[in-house]
Amino acid sequence: MYSEKVMDHFNNPRNVGEIANPSGVGTVGNAKCGDIMRMYLEIDDDGIIKDVKFKTFGCGAAVATSSMATELVKGKNIQQALEVTNKAVMDALDGLPPVKVHCSLLAEEAIHAALWDYAEKNGIVIEGLEKPAADIEEKIAEEY
Ligand code: FES
C-alpha cells in the first residue's frame, strides 16, 4: 500500500523537533481526523531556509510527507519553498494511496503558515503566498 520511501520517512522521519526563536512557525490542523502539524523555519538574512523542523500529532502519511517536505525546503529560498506543493512531495515519495492524499496537505499548509508568520513578523509580502487555512478541510473542500 505504501511505497518504500513513505515507509522510510515514516520509520525514520527527518527534521523532527522544534526551533527555538524560529523565523516563522505555523500550525495547521485537519478537523476531520483531528491531526495537527506544526512547522518551524529558520530563515537567514538572504531569505534562505537554513533549518526546518516539524512536530505532528498525525498519521503515518502526515509524518512521511512532512519529513520529505522538510528535506525539500531545506537550503532553498522562499520562492523555491513555495514550489514544494503536496503534489511535489507525493511525487518525491513515489505516491500515496488516494485516501491519504489529504494528509500531504498538512505539510504544505504548515510550511505556508510558517512563511506567512515570517512575512508578518518582518512586515514583508511574499509573492504568491496566500493566507493559509488554519484547518486544511477548507482547502480540501476547495480543491477536491
Ligand atoms: Fe489525518 Fe492523515 S489521517 S492527516
For ligand 1, mutation pick of 1, 27, 35, 66 (most atoms within 8 Å of CB)? 35
* Ligand 1 atom nearest to CA at 33: 1
Distance CA 86, CA 65 (A): 8
- For residues 5 and 111, the answer to whether their CB atoms sit within 8 Å is no
Output the pTM of the full model: 0.93
Hey, what's the cell of 16?
A: 523532527
For ligand 1, mutation pick of 66, 102, 140 (most atoms within 8 Å of CB)? 102
Which residue has the least CA distance to atom 2 on ligand 1?
A: 103
- Smallest CA-to-CA distance from 107 within 11, 13, 1 is with 13
* pLDDT tens digits for range 72-83: 999 999 999 999
User: How far does CA 131 lie from the centroid of its chain?
Assistant: 14
Please identify every residue annotated as catalytic. 33, 103
* pLDDT tens digits for range 54-107: 999 989 999 999 999 999 999 999 999 999 999 999 999 999 999 999 899 999
